């Protein structure tokens, strides 16, 4: 087991555009770090650089105390698990798992002992004589994971290993993989585009976009303190509502409201913005609740109702645009209903229009100053 440290990592393929730009991440020994972002954000490229399958243009990679930029892939002692399983179809499960040990000329007795030990841990003992084609998708993925752990690598690198599985099996494998990683204590870097996987699996999450790190934090931190509007909109299902509104003063602390393109805030708010300055306002769907007209932040008409079982999602049309609202399914609602919505000040996020960075919640900005970019 080892820590992994990326220092100012840049990867360029044509010396013009960067697939990765100045990426710095410290992954502690035994941590489960998830790299998440949209397609093309650089997460798989980053993993391939870690594995030694791609060269680094600038920056350094350390595994433990050793700089590995110039170390060949097969000498880095990291194990990679791919989306496609990458099993040898003509070899048995036993031989697939044993392959890394045969490659280093381990003794026959050790190979047998180690393969049987790993197979038992992953529930594969009865399948060792079978070929991959005789296995289910989940079993094949277990074989790929078994092959990765059989030689006790310093780190696991996993590139969307669950994306080929159906929803039920994916959930099952998430639980199994987390349990296995906790038992082994092996440092793990896990790539996914699925923010639900990221939130449920990671000790910490690194959010990437266009080759740049947007935020690193625990799932709680990334969800409740998004660094910018990209993170706010990417993490969460459904994502945070973000609207550009003009600041107007004159409201009391309990009379914050959205009217048209205007956000009315308390006169004594410490947000240092003049009348008419634009800010980006963010509200999570679950933080918009139904109320009477007394405490309403805004009013609108229900346009779409999506019943998901335990929850109901509403798309509400207001004079400031569409807002998505998440309710529990016990609140009956129909298309065409007029609703009044409220939000607590501590759940109304303000982002800088120019930088898109989080300024704070309205509640926080009533207690401390923040100068908005105009």
The arithmetic mean of pLDDT across residues 162-190, rounded, is: 89
The H or E element spanning position 144 is: helix 137-149
The arithmetic mean of pLDDT across residues 201-221, rounded, is: 97
326-348, pLDDT tens digit by residue?
998 778 889 999 999 999 888 99
Q: What is the dihedral of CA 39, 43, 46, 47, to 10 degrees?
A: -110
Nearest by Cα to 321 from 204, 242, 249:
242
Q: At what angle do helices 167-184 and 137-149 cross, to 10 degrees?
A: 20
153-165, pLDDT tens digit by residue?
999 999 998 887 7
Q: What is the pLDDT of residue 151?
A: 87
- Structural domains of the chain, with CATH: 4-227 (3.40.50.300), 241-371 (2.40.50.140)
Instruction: Report whether pLDDT(369) > 50.
Output: no
Residue that wins the pLDDT comparison between 32 and 363? 32
Pair of tokens at residue 356: 């898109």
Instruction: Report whether pLDDT(210) > 90.
Output: yes
Kindly report the pTM of this predicted structure. Answer: 0.89
Nearest by Cα to 201 from 215, 225, 218:
218
In angstroms, what CA-CA distances link 56 with 78, 148, 207?
17, 24, 20
Q: What is the pLDDT of residue 370?
A: 44
Contact 314, 333 (CB under 8 A): yes
Pair of tokens at residue 84: 């496609």
138-177 core/surface letters (b: 16 or more CB in 10 A; e: else):
bbbbbbbbbbbbbbebbbbbbbbbbebbeeeebeebbebb
Instruction: Report whether pLDDT(242) > 90.
Output: yes
């Amino acid at each position: 087991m080892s820590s992994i440290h990326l220092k100012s990592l840049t990867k360029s393929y044509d010396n013009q555009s960067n697939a990765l730009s100045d990426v710095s991440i410290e992954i502690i020994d035994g941590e489960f770090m998830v790299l998440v972002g949209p397609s093309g954000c650089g997460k798989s490229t980053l993993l391939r650089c870690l594995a030694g399958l791609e060269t680094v243009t600038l920056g350094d990679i350390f595994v433990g105390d050793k700089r590995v930029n110039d170390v060949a892939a097969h000498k880095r002692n990291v194990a990679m698990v791919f989306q496609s399983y990458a099993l040898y179809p003509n070899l048995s499960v036993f031989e697939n798992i044993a392959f890394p040990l045969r490659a280093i000329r381990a003794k026959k007795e050790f190979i047998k002992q180690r393969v049987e030990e790993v197979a038992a841990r992953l529930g594969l003992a009865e399948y060792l004589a079978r070929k991959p084609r005789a296995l289910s998708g989940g079993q094949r993925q277990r074989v790929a994971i078994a092959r990765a752990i059989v030689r006790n690598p310093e780190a696991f690198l996993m590139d969307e290993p669950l994306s080929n599985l159906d929803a039920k099996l994916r959930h099952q494998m998430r639980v199994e993989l987390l349990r296995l990683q906790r038992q082994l204590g092996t440092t793990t870097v896990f790539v996914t585009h699925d923010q639900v996987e990221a939130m449920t699996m990671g000790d910490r999450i690194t959010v990437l976009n266009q080759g740049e790190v947007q935020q690193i934090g625990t799932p709680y931190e990334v969800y409740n303190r998004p660094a910018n509007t990209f993170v706010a909109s990417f993490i969460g299902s459904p994502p945070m509502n973000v609207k550009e509104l003009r600041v107007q003063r004159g409201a009391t602390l309990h009379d914050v409201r959205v009217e048209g393109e205007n956000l009315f805030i308390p006169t004594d708010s410490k947000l240092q913005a003049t009348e008419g300055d634009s800010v980006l306002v963010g509200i999570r769907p679950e933080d918009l609740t139904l109320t009477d007209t007394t405490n309403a932040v805004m009013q609108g008409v229900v346009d779409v109702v999506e019943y998901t079982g335990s929850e109901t999602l509403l798309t509400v049309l207001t004079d400031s645009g569409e807002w998505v609202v998440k309710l529990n399914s016990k609140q009956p609602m129909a298309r065409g209903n007029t609703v009044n919505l409220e939000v607590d000040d501590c759940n109304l996020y303000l982002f800088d229009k120019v930088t898109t960075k989080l300024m704070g919640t309205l509640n926080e900005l009533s207690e401390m100053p923040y100068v908005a970019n105009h």
